[in-house]
Structure 1
Amino acid sequence: MSVHQWQDLTSTEIARLAGGATVAVLPLAAIEQHGSHLPLSTDLDIGLGLLEAAMAQLGSTQDVIVLPPLALGSSLEHTDFPGTLSLMPETAMRVIEALGEAVNRAGIRRLVLFNSHGGNKAVIDLVALKLRAAHAMLVVKANYFRFAPPPQALPAKELRHGLHGGALETSMMLHLAPAKVRIEQLADAVSEGSLREQSGATLGPEGDAGYAWMAQDLHPSGVTGNAALANADIGRRLVEHFSARLATVIEEAGRFDLATLRGPTPDGI
């Protein structure tokens, strides 16, 4: 296994690693409010913690180059809370696309966009397709919160409605960065989505008929979920599980047959 930090390499070394099964990984996160119990760096801390754990699990033959993390994301839904730093979606798209194009120029056609912030998902979907269309790159969209959680780690209702600052994120922070968690502020923030579900409503903030929402629409604190359920042992299980899944994704990206990514026909059909 050979894991490199992009910024630590020379241009010559990047060229030597290009091609073959080398996978570039771009960590994507956010600096945004997570209520009164978690720091603004929560998404970044979790993303980098999962990535570090995943790197230790890679096979012995996998070459990986980790790009500098893009700490700022598209956090429009959290902009009414102090401390949130957000790029507009169009700006975030342009930045990620430019980084993907730089990876391609270096001769690397395998790129994993590893994302730890829900608001980035729509941006990543569009950028990945643009990079694929323009450069015939393999662009993997790896959102850890879309990975299936370990069985019985948390109640199903909490996993469904604890979208932001709930037991899942708080548990991982208690494992990865416990000094940053304000324990005395842990509380249960019941989501508007949970209340609507209980009433039998079809529309909700997520699901097959979701509506656009700002964080305060779901709870005045900007948090959804029961952070009081969190503990470091649950966080350890979650980190081990999600990082193993990420390691598998990276390894499969390295084995992916790029010949299946065909360029446009001469007539553009």
Structure 2
Amino acid sequence: MNTTASAHWEELTWEEISDLISSGTDAAILPIGATEQHGPQLTVGMDSLLGRHLCASVAQKTGVPTLPLLPYGCSLGHSHRWPGTLALSPQTLISVVTDIADWLYPAGIRKLFLVNSHVTNEAPLRCALEILRARYDDLCIALFNTGKLTPEIAATFSEDADDWHANAAETSLVLHLAPSSVRADKLASSDDPDRTGGCVFSHPVNRTSLNGVTGSPSQATAEAGKTLYQRLEKELVSLIKTGLSETPPLENSYFRNPETA
């Protein structure tokens, strides 16, 4: 694997990409973020900020190039109550991801790692995965959701709210990665409790939060953000390195019945 080439797909020429694939790098990382309100204390690019930093770092450590980040996601649940959110429909996100894969496959990419840093992108991305693995017999696709990489990471994200958003964990990550994106004067007054406990229905955020936050960003620290980020990075590097050497348990084609003796 060529680890000397740029970790960023958009910084390579077509000849360099061709050489990279010919030399055995047949994998790519696709970061998917969002542009949505993150309470009074965080900028609307929080999810994309995390995805961009994390995937760039992981690309450097694994030799797998990272594709340009998708800065829009399925954020319909955040409503029009607070300006700033720019959301895609689930169908659009599915189409964007499958369209990208339709161009990666002829170029020689056979392993695609979807790294999702926005919770409600998960369902449409899983649908895209289903479509692509049925469309291409030898394309392997993995979906990693940053908030769920391990049970320990999931527990950290949900320490102050089960239905967390713009909470202590996310605010801590931004304090570590881009402190200028945190409005420090808003931290003490931004806490808003999780009101979803015991609910039967999945309500949009305009009906569960007063200010777009669910959790306690006042508890955030840069040190906690650094610790969480390092755990995210370590786990994602491990998962991608494992995926690079993984082969299907069986080689049966999706399109043909197995031969019988």
Is the TM-score greater than 0.5?
yes
Deviation of 1:87 (Å): 1.1
Q: Which residue of 2 aligns with 1:54?
A: 58
- Residues 152, 242 of structure 1: alpha-carbon distance in 2 compared, 3 angstrom cutoff: closer
| Structure-1 separation of matches of 2:236 and 2:89 | 27
2:79 matched residue in structure 1? 79
1:262–1:75 distance in 2 versus 1, CA, 3 Å: farther
Q: What amino acid maps onto 1:72 in structure 2?
A: Y
Determine helix, strand or coil for the equivalent of 1:170: helix
Residues 169 and 225, structure 2, Cα contact 8 Å, conserved in 1? yes
| Residue of structure 1 in register with 2:46 after alignment | 42
> In structure 1, how many angstroms separate the alpha carbons of the residues matched to 2:57 and 2:225?
13
- Kindly tell me: are residues 97 and 154 of structure 1, through their superposed partners in 2, closer, same or farther at Cα, counting changes over 3 Å? closer
Contact 1:116–1:143 under 8 Å retained in 2: yes
SS in 1 for 2:7: strand
Q: CA shift at 1:246, angstroms?
A: 0.9
Aligned to 1:168: 169
Distance in 2, matches of 1:52 and 1:260, equals 32
Root mean square deviation, CA, Å: 2.4
Question: In structure 2, what is the equivalent of residue 181 of structure 1?
Answer: 182
* Secondary structure, aligned partner of 1:4: coil
Q: Aligned residue for 1:30?
A: 34
State the partner residue of 1:208: none
The SS at the match of 1:122 is helix
- Quote the offset at 1:110 in angstroms: 0.2
Alignment check: 8 A CA contact 2:161 2:194 kept: no
- Runs of 4+ with deviation above 6 angstroms: none
Match in the other structure for 1:146? 148
- Cα separation, 1, equivalents of 2:97 and 2:60: 26
- 2:15 is aligned to 12
Report the Cα offset of residue 168 of structure 1.
0.6
Per-residue CA distance 1:165-214 (angstroms, 9 max, x = gap): 00010000000000110111113210112xx3xxxx3x45xxxxxx3321
Give percent identity, aligned residues only: 30
1-structure distance, mates of 2:154, 2:131: 38
Structure 1 position 100, deviation (Å): 1.2
Matched letter for residue 10 of structure 1: T
Q: Give the AA of the match of 1:54.
A: V
CA–CA separation in structure 1 for the residues paired with 2:143 and 2:157: 26
Q: Aligned partners of 2:32 and 2:183: how far apart in 1?
A: 25
Structure with greater strand share of residues: 1
Quote the offset at 1:218 in angstroms: 1.9
TM-score, structure 1 length as denominator?
Answer: 0.85
Range that drifts further, 215-224 or 234-243: 215-224
Alignment pair present for 1:68 and 2:71: no
1:47 and 1:115 in contact (8 A); partners too: yes
- Count of residue correspondences: 250
| Partner-residue secondary structure (3-state), 2:162 | helix
Q: Which runs of 5 or more structure 2 residues have no equivalent in the other structure?
A: none
> Structure 1 pair 189/262, CA: closer, same or farther in 2 (3 Å)?
farther
**Is residue 209 of structure 2 the alignment partner of residue 219 of structure 1?**
yes
- 1:238 partner amino acid: L
Superposed counterparts of 1:218-257, under 5 Å: 218-257=208-247
Once structures 1 and 2 are overlaid, which stretch shifts more, 150-159 or 130-139?
150-159
Contact 1:79 1:86 in 2 (8 A): no
For 1:67, the aligned partner's letter is L
Tell which deviates more after alignment, 40-49 or 4-13: 4-13
Q: 1:120-131 counterparts in 2 under 5 A?
A: 120-131=121-132
Query: For residue 132 of structure 1, what is the amino acid of its counterpart?
Result: R
Question: Which protein, 1 or 2, shows the higher relative CO under an 8 Å CA cutoff with sep ≥ 6?
Answer: 1
